Structure 1
Amino acid sequence: MAFYNSPLGLLSFLLLLLLSATATATTSSSGGIRLGIIRKPTPYVPIFREAPAFRNGESCNDNRIHVTMTLDANYLRGTMAAVLSMLQHSMCPENVEFHFLCTRFEPDVEASIKSTFPYLKFKVYRFDSNRVRGKISKSIRQALDQPLNYARIYLADIIPADVKRVIYLDSDLVLVDDIAKLWEVDLEGKVLAAPEYCHANFTKYFTILFWSDKSLAMTFDGRKPCYFNTGVMVVDVDKWRQGRYTQRVEEWMAVQKQKRIYQLGSLPPFLLVLAGN
């Protein structure tokens, strides 16, 4: 796996604090903002201002940048902030296409995206949560046990076959630089790139049961494993499919069901398959 390991990664990512959700109709058509776009509020989907139309600069080509994120009403503010930050800082915002993964289609959520970003290129795909039923082990935080948290493992099976590379981002991030810089990361022939942190005690990500079992502990023999952030990944989708990485991650999830070898959700099986490779 290729890594970019500057203090903040190739791009500077900031945790989302808050996105103001104000119900309003736009009053000016300047900057490409349309008039009178109002969506009626629902009990669980916030209302956002319509964003301006972000247009490509003169130097842009037709190359697409594919971004995948999960989509859920509970985290919609984060998703909106992430999308807005990408468009704001991109030299070629019209080249960015979004692939949203959800466990169920929620018309109000999709309508909120359309009304906030009328010019956005995006598709919503349903992730069948049955694919992880019986495979998820209880972790130390309930939020980590949600099926959608595991959708990133299956994104190569969900997005269109003609998408060869994709950026996966968690919805609690905002970008402060051009997404194209992340898209252009050299994978050096590896299946993915992610921000790496080698100063953490890597052994703490796995239990005593794991390290005391020689057949399991030797998994990292010949490797120099470090923690990496699965919330920011550039993935060669073809290599992921060809290398059967989904199945390889699932195999470790099956081991976890038999004996508790880690504590934290979907991250450890990624580390077992990819850390140090």
Structure 2
Amino acid sequence: MNGIRQHKFDFREAPAFVNAYTCRSSSKDSIDIATTLDENYLQGTMAAVFSTKHKPKICRSVNSTFPYLKFEIYRFDSTRVRGKISKSVRQALDQPLNYARIYLANILPSCVHRVIYLDSDVIVVDDVSKLREVVLDEKVIAAPEYCHANFTNYFTESFWSDKELSRTFEGRRLCYFSRGVMILDVNKWRKEGYTQRVEEWMVIQKQKRMYNLGSLPPFLLIFAGNIKTSFLIDGINMDLVGITLKANVEAFIPVRLVCSIRVEKESHG
């Protein structure tokens, strides 16, 4: 019995990762990945970071949040957004950290030009470096897109009945997209002031009740129907995987990770 108890509560230590001798180090090979960290969700975040670290090819090493590796933590000043948050259908959606991705371009250093944003509640089951190959084609965001949902449900009846507000979607493809897995052109985001654009919609929301779903609708107001999609992007996220037993998880790359993880090719001698 003692042996059984000991085995039951043993923890498995992450294995060491060694680069191949043929690997070279280059800043051009770096992949910047950002995630949000919250003390209430650290267990899930550790799983996300470990799976991201475990899947890249042998020529890659990851500086991550694990204590024996280097990492960078960038503090998110929640006071900037707190006064702009409107009450939603669930209290969890009202937490400032849900809005942190809006400020990534402001938080990350200027040397970061492109970043993969991952929510902290996912597991990576393939090489995350594949996302680096996605060409944005002048778009600011690449993300998994869903066009089969009832898009009108994301906004209130008063929004759709207001001709001025609803005209926002005129001529656009009304598709939902997952913000849990995004590739961001940080330079373009900064240059074209998308943080301020999202904030403007949040201010209007305080005056006119347009939606009830937290930080998602402001993104849809700006980016719905105007993001980059591809077979790589559409294959990285599995919708409803947590509630279906028939999901083929291995056929997808569900990834979600504000500290930075840097994946680089390096040489060991």
Interval containing the TM-score (normalised by the shorter chain)? 0.7 to 0.9
Shift of 1:59: 5.2
**Residue matched to 1:5:** none
> Which of 233, 236, 241 matches 2:182?
233
Give the letter aligned to residue 161 of structure 2: S
> Which of 45, 48, 51 matches 1:85?
51
- CA RMSD of superposed structures (Å): 1.9
Give the letter aligned to residue 108 of structure 2: I
Shift of 1:222: 1.5
Question: Secondary structure of 1:175's partner?
Answer: coil
> Which of 146, 149, 155 matches 2:104?
155
> Which of 188, 191, 208 matches 2:140?
191
Shift of 1:212: 0.5
Shift of 1:96: 4.1
Give the letter aligned to residue 225 of structure 2: G
The alignment's TM-score, normalised by the length of structure 1, stands at: 0.73
**Residue matched to 2:31:** 65
Give the letter aligned to residue 199 of structure 1: H
Shift of 1:49: 5.2
Matches of 2:56 and 2:192, distance apart in 1: 32
Shift of 1:23: 8.2
> Would the alpha carbon gap of residues 267 and 97 (structure 1) be closer, same or farther in structure 2, given more than 3 Å must change?
farther
The CA deviation string for residues 105-148 of structure 1, in whole angstroms up to 9 with x for no partner, is xxxxx7xx31xxx13x4211110010012100011011110011
Query: Would you say how many aligned residue pairs link Structure 1 and Structure 2?
Result: 216
Question: Secondary structure of 2:88's partner?
Answer: coil
> Would the alpha carbon gap of residues 148 and 276 (structure 1) be closer, same or farther in structure 2, given more than 3 Å must change?
same
The within-5 A match list for 1:48-63 is 50-57=13-20, 58=22, 62=26, 63=29
Instruction: Answer yes or no: is the 8 Å Cα contact 2:177–2:224 preserved in 1.
Output: yes
Question: Secondary structure of 2:104's partner?
Answer: helix
Instruction: Answer yes or no: is the 8 Å Cα contact 1:87–1:93 preserved in 2.
Output: no
Matches of 2:162 and 2:131, distance apart in 1: 38
The CA deviation string for residues 191-242 of structure 1, in whole angstroms up to 9 with x for no partner, is 1100000000011100011100000000011111200000100001000001
Shift of 1:52: 2.2
Matches of 1:224 and 1:267, distance apart in 2: 17
Matches of 1:95 and 1:262, distance apart in 2: 42
Matches of 2:211 and 2:102, distance apart in 1: 17
Alignment partner of 1:266 is 2:215: yes
Q: Which runs of 5 or more residues in structure 2 are unaligned?
A: 1-7, 227-269
Instruction: Answer yes or no: is the 8 Å Cα contact 1:60–1:92 preserved in 2.
Output: no
**Residue matched to 1:75:** 41
The CA deviation string for residues 230-273 of structure 1, in whole angstroms up to 9 with x for no partner, is 01000010000011000000011011100110111111000000
Runs of 4+ aligned residues of structure 1 deviating over 6 Å after TM superposition are none
Shift of 1:56: 3.2
The within-5 A match list for 1:164-175 is 164-175=113-124
Instruction: Answer yes or no: is the 8 Å Cα contact 1:65–1:96 preserved in 2.
Output: no
The alignment's TM-score, normalised by the length of structure 2, stands at: 0.76
Q: Identity, % of aligned pairs? A: 64
Give the letter aligned to residue 209 of structure 2: R
> Would the alpha carbon gap of residues 50 and 138 (structure 1) be closer, same or farther in structure 2, given more than 3 Å must change?
same
> Would the alpha carbon gap of residues 203 and 187 (structure 1) be closer, same or farther in structure 2, given more than 3 Å must change?
same
Instruction: Answer yes or no: is the 8 Å Cα contact 2:85–2:202 preserved in 1.
Output: yes
Shift of 1:55: 2.9
Matches of 2:102 and 2:85, distance apart in 1: 12
